[in-house]
Structure 1
């Protein structure tokens, strides 16, 4: 799959938006207060504004927004209504927003069809319909119930009838082959500004990175990251393995005593194969050489620093990278031109064991200031950036946890594959 060959919102001449009904798949899956339903963080709504405003400013007849919220399990559930999102969107957009309490059907088609002068509609939660995800769980038996292919096709056709063109601005759901992601039948199907930014940065690192190219991988289990490591070993010059999964490598490769630290029995079987591939591809592997240990997995655990030669005592566990490791990692980061970071260096949620992740972040910020491209692959690493207010200090912090991970594993994302092809761009293939 080529990321850089997909058509984006700016590839379409602005006059082709004029007078059109535009369907935008947004990600309004926002956190809410459990008791009041009030939105506690509107960042995802604000993030969609550039695409919505661009379409309004270019004289669209109407703007139809569709999203999911929570996991209503394929049936209407007032707890997961998007109505509060419509109120919040109206505030931040500074534009009237019409909420429709359904997302498909003749009545929705009629209301949306009557829209004019850039009228903005927010439709009800897509996941109130089993046909969006294709299945749901039976509440009484726990068994999976599948929607019929005919029902899914009808649902997708109803979404298609709503608009003249389609924009996907929900990168976080791009790895899901859901109806609103892959089911719009018309052309063109474009990437919105959020999706466009994701594709630009990931195509930069995966298709034509500036070298030296360094990947930093953290996380708990080697077995969860095997596909990711294997794919990146074909692309990078250096690879830092840190976080919990480093202990599996250290025990297998160097017989380091790891105490009660994480050890992935299944993943350990692949360690020698991964190291052999790195050697074959001339990829330099870097691991921690010292550790901040805790006597329990707790924010108030007693701490001590140990080296490889000392080993981690029984009853203790490695919870962060030590000072010598941080220095080595910093050198590698500052000597690289492209840096991809996916996974923290330690248990950053506990302040006593966050220094390794903070030091890595600081080094990445410094590298970025010196002209390197630094991309954070979503998930926990994005949370590290948020914790220290650094989202705007790096080249790009991805909005898609699962989507960015699957992309880095070399998988095709259905939501990206479904976008129209941009014939002006030469296809760079992953």
Structure 2
């Protein structure tokens, strides 16, 4: 795989695939984290005498031109951050776009309109995607991948564009994601601990199975812990459980012991009747959950137990909140775990939108070693899958 830092971009025109699928309030960007993460790559290209052509998607227009998914607000916001003009092309391919690309001078920026206004971007037909990719890179010297958040998607701008361009490389953001995630999983500092939460075991089965034998400790929280507690014969009352996965949970618990991975489940729960309750009915409950009540967060005893396990850890990877953190009444467990990870002094890696939200709600964003910009990409990486975006860069480098 080639990296941007190793390529002379002077006088070159680069197509940069970024992930600017950001939330908007009308014409205002409400969270520009993803945009800010791309700035080092863009500034490097511009400061080294290159020109930047930016491509990305917004929302799910499904191959149709829909004004509400237009990128004008994003281009305006980026211009404010970069301090340079960021004109928006009327499309992402075609004669008009090629003319604008040809007119670009070193230090200038052009943003292309939403890639997903074209069905070919997300087509299941590889030939159709490649034809679209060739149009995307027309007149350009270099393709730069800096959109980890979509690197698990077989989209034309992710998997075909690197092969259609004269040269392709990973930008600074992609390089950082690769170094942290690949390094953490292939040669972690030990003890290596994974913290997995969220609502469903079904969405994390691949991750849990892949981590067995690789991590020294696997901490499970969130509603998915309810299914594991039920697998141990503990009644969980009206809590969210996946009864059809109880046997799978039993298998994971048994396999973990054989593979020398210690699984840790909550020892107490915060109980209430509903997710919408303004306060817990029981702040720390051990044993079976009474009928009519739900486990909506891990309790304080669990936070202390998990914190004790984390002391002296070398690497901690965290995905998934410990409870229904969207409601402040049930956010204590997630925030407590976030603080425990930071206090452990371990190399700490966080991924997933909900987990990212917890970290920032706890005002601990700068305390973690690395916060991944990918949701689905991060999960698939933890499952041990080869991400199409990385494979395309490796194939392009091998040409």
Q: The TM-score by the shorter chain falls in which range?
A: over 0.9
Identify the match of residue 121 of structure 2 among 110, 132, 136: 132
Give the secondary structure class of the aligned counterpart of 1:48: helix
State the distance in 2 between where 1:333 and 1:422 align.
41
**CA apart distance, 1:306:** 4.8
Matched, 1:17 2:9: yes
**CA apart distance, 1:379:** 2.1
Matched, 1:247 2:242: no
The answer (yes or no) to whether the contact 1:292–1:306 under 8 Å persists in 2 is: yes
Matched, 1:79 2:68: yes
Matched, 1:178 2:155: yes
**CA apart distance, 1:42:** 2.5
The answer (yes or no) to whether the contact 2:129–2:155 under 8 Å persists in 1 is: no
Structure 1: any 5+ residue segments left out of the alignment?
1-5, 136-147, 425-430
Change (3 A) 1:182 1:150: closer
Give the secondary structure class of the aligned counterpart of 2:75: helix
Give the secondary structure class of the aligned counterpart of 2:385: coil
Identify the match of residue 129 of structure 2 among 152, 170, 178: 152
State the distance in 2 between where 1:150 and 1:335 align.
51
In structure 1, what is the equivalent of residue 261 of structure 2? 283
Structure 1 length as normaliser, TM-score?
A: 0.88
**CA apart distance, 1:76:** 0.9
Change (3 A) 1:40 1:323: closer
Give the secondary structure class of the aligned counterpart of 2:87: strand
- Give the aligned length: 396
State the distance in 1 between where 2:292 and 2:337 align.
27
**CA apart distance, 1:8:** 1.9
State the distance in 2 between where 1:223 and 1:154 align.
37
Cα offsets for 1:68-99 (capped at 9, x unmatched): 01111101111111122222221111112222
The answer (yes or no) to whether the contact 2:63–2:117 under 8 Å persists in 1 is: yes
State the distance in 1 between where 2:127 and 2:203 align.
36
State the distance in 1 between where 2:42 and 2:277 align.
43
The answer (yes or no) to whether the contact 1:295–1:301 under 8 Å persists in 2 is: no
In structure 2, what is the equivalent of residue 95 of structure 1? 84
In structure 1, what is the equivalent of residue 354 of structure 2? 380
State the distance in 1 between where 2:97 and 2:396 align.
31
Identify the match of residue 392 of structure 1 among 362, 366, 371: 366
State the distance in 2 between where 1:336 and 1:249 align.
24
Structure 2: any 5+ residue segments left out of the alignment?
none
State the distance in 2 between where 1:264 and 1:23 align.
45
In structure 1, what is the equivalent of residue 98 of structure 2? 109
Structure 1 residues 362-381: aligned runs within 5 Å: 362-368=339-345, 372-381=346-355
Cα offsets for 1:177-216 (capped at 9, x unmatched): 1000011212432111111111111012111101110001
Matched, 1:166 2:143: yes
Matched, 1:228 2:228: no
Identify the match of residue 306 of structure 2 among 316, 319, 329: 329
Structure 2 length as normaliser, TM-score?
A: 0.95
In structure 1, what is the equivalent of residue 382 of structure 2? 408
The answer (yes or no) to whether the contact 2:85–2:109 under 8 Å persists in 1 is: yes
**CA apart distance, 1:412:** 1.2
Identify the match of residue 215 of structure 1 among 165, 179, 194: 194
State the distance in 1 between where 2:126 and 2:280 align.
57
**CA apart distance, 1:364:** 0.9
In structure 2, what is the equivalent of residue 190 of structure 1? 169
State the distance in 1 between where 2:390 and 2:237 align.
44
State the distance in 2 between where 1:341 and 1:356 align.
14
RMSD: 1.8
In structure 1, what is the equivalent of residue 57 of structure 2? 68
The answer (yes or no) to whether the contact 2:275–2:327 under 8 Å persists in 1 is: no
Give the secondary structure class of the aligned counterpart of 1:364: helix
**CA apart distance, 1:312:** 1.1
**CA apart distance, 1:275:** 1.5
State the distance in 2 between where 1:266 and 1:115 align.
58
Give the secondary structure class of the aligned counterpart of 2:321: coil
Which stretch shifts more, 408-417 or 103-112? 103-112
Identify the match of residue 349 of structure 1 among 314, 326, 330: 326
**CA apart distance, 1:118:** 2.1
Change (3 A) 1:133 1:335: same
In structure 1, what is the equivalent of residue 44 of structure 2? 54
State the distance in 1 between where 2:271 and 2:285 align.
10
The answer (yes or no) to whether the contact 1:168–1:181 under 8 Å persists in 2 is: yes
Matched, 1:308 2:296: no
Which stretch shifts more, 217-226 or 38-47? 38-47
Give the secondary structure class of the aligned counterpart of 1:410: coil
